[in-house]
Amino acid sequence: MASELNKLTIADASSKLRAREITATQLTRDCLDRIAAAEPRLHAFITVCEKEALEQARAADARLAAGNAPALCGIPLGIKDIYATKGIRTTCASRILENFVPPFDATVIERLRADGAIFVGKTNMDEFAMGSSTENSAFGPTMNPHDTARVAGGSSGGSAAAVAAHECLGSLGTDTGGSIREPASFCGVVGIKPTYSRVSRYGVVAYASSLDQVGPFARSVRDAAIILRTLAGKDVRDSTCSARPVPDYERALTGDVGRLRIGVPREYFVEGMQPEVEKSIRSALKNYESLGASTVEISLPHTGYAIAAYYLVATAEASANLARYDGIRFGLRVNAEDNIALYETTRAKGFGAEVKRRIMLGTFALSAGYYDAYYLKAQKVRTLIRNDFERAFEKCDLIVTPVAPTTAFKIGEKMNDPLTMYLSDIFTISVNLAGLPGMSIPCGHDSNNLPIGMQLIAPPFAEETILRAGDAFERTGTFKPRTPAV
């Protein structure tokens, strides 16, 4: 009978590893066995790193035996396939990078290695992180562990699904417009997008450089805090990375929200929202009031312009960032009679439909005669959205909203209507435009037993506030996790 160590939280597993009650090899073996059993129905991973993971586990066991090992030593993690991992292919779920093996590690991968974390595999995602459902992967979609007919969310769907299905104890994602928080909501796990610049982006394949941010998935707020502590901090190789000292996020989890002022934006409770989603968020707000927090209605008046602004800024930056995939320097090459033909045919064959759509949108927005009308105007709207949040935080310490208007939708349901798909991120995009920290935490289920996520948003570098509030909600025990179908 399997020991099911893979179902432990990071905090519990770390405690058992240090006490020598279990070994990293046993824990990793259970995760790898779970991956082998679940992947035919789930497809959360693009590459499973069994050999590398077991080597890392043996090294972690030696380190644990010597004592003084960090909290993540011996902990099996999934890594979104957008991070450079030395010696392990990094595809970004795209045919254009299908066989690309980086010669170096991303900064956060270096930090996890230094702590002795174990990488069980590279997780599935929307191609180049462009999507809200992980259906845009060149290697096929990831299924939701709670209902395999439904999406896991995107673009970090594989990372969220792997944690929810107990294939690993935590994972890494990236969030450009909701790509951590939305899949966390759909899969019923915790996902945090830190403040822009809190975590280094060096070695993370760029989508939209002024919006992208690294963050963790976990099955508890405490576990997310443990991972974030390792990820965060100054990196001289990323000029946008903040030099602010990194607090001990786990120490912020006091359970005390007695004087917390919670803002509830009227623009985020809109017509067309799934009633069960609103009911769960309202119920969670009452729980906070019972803990001594107060709620106040606030307004974020430029919310309605966020999607339009985002899909101009993000696609313009994507157009510039993806110009490097030309068939000449690295990645896929389709030989042709001259360099122009090589460039065109390589990109035509290597990129999927959604990536091509966003490149064309961005190229148009940046083209002569349209820059001021589109890209520049979108940046001005971005400033207005940031100002909305600044004014709101004069009245409150934390903002609570839904993560998404609905629970996980069916695979294929929105693929033929890009605009409807883009609207899935209506509650998350503003956070990226403003550079704020945001977290999704499970707060309920709908009538189909699908998870519902609550979004907690704080001022810049106030990750401790959202972690403290999220942990306090978990302690109430009002949300009861349900075993996934897979």
Q: Cite the active site residues.
A: 80, 155, 179
Closest of 24, 31, 23 to residue 49, by C-alpha:
31
Token duo for residue 38: 């679940």
Report the alpha-carbon angle 325-329-331, nearest 5: 55
State the helix-helix crossing angle for 50-66 and 24-42, rounded to 10 degrees.
150
Which residue type sits at 359?
Answer: I
Distance between CA atoms of 202 and 84, rounded to whole angstroms?
A: 9
Terminal C-alpha separation, the chain: 18
Distance between CA atoms of 399 and 271, rounded to whole angstroms?
A: 20
3-class SS at 347?
helix
Distance between CA atoms of 193 and 215, rounded to whole angstroms?
A: 5
CA–CA distances in Å: residue 72 to residues 69, 122, 188, 342: 8, 18, 22, 45
* Alpha carbon 288 to chain centroid, angstroms: 25
Q: Is the peptide bond before 155 cis (omega within 30 degrees of 0)?
A: yes
Distance between CA atoms of 101 and 122, rounded to whole angstroms?
A: 12
Are 199 and 215 within 8 A, CB to CB?
yes
Token duo for residue 126: 């929307």
Distance between CA atoms of 429 and 178, rounded to whole angstroms?
A: 6
The residue with tokens 């942990």 is: 471
Kindly provide the residue ranges of all beta strands, DSSP E only, lying in 194-253, ordered along the sequence. 214-218
In 3-state terms the chain splits into helix, strand, coil percentages (rounded to 5) of 45, 15, 40
Q: Is 101 left (phi over 0), alpha (psi -120 to 50) or beta?
A: beta
Phi and psi angles of residue 83, each rounded to the nearest 5 degrees, phi first: -95, 135
Distance between CA atoms of 343 and 324, rounded to whole angstroms?
A: 10
Contacts of 377 (CB under 8 A, 6+ apart): 312
Q: Could you count the other beta carbons within 10 Å of the beta carbon of residue 246? A: 17
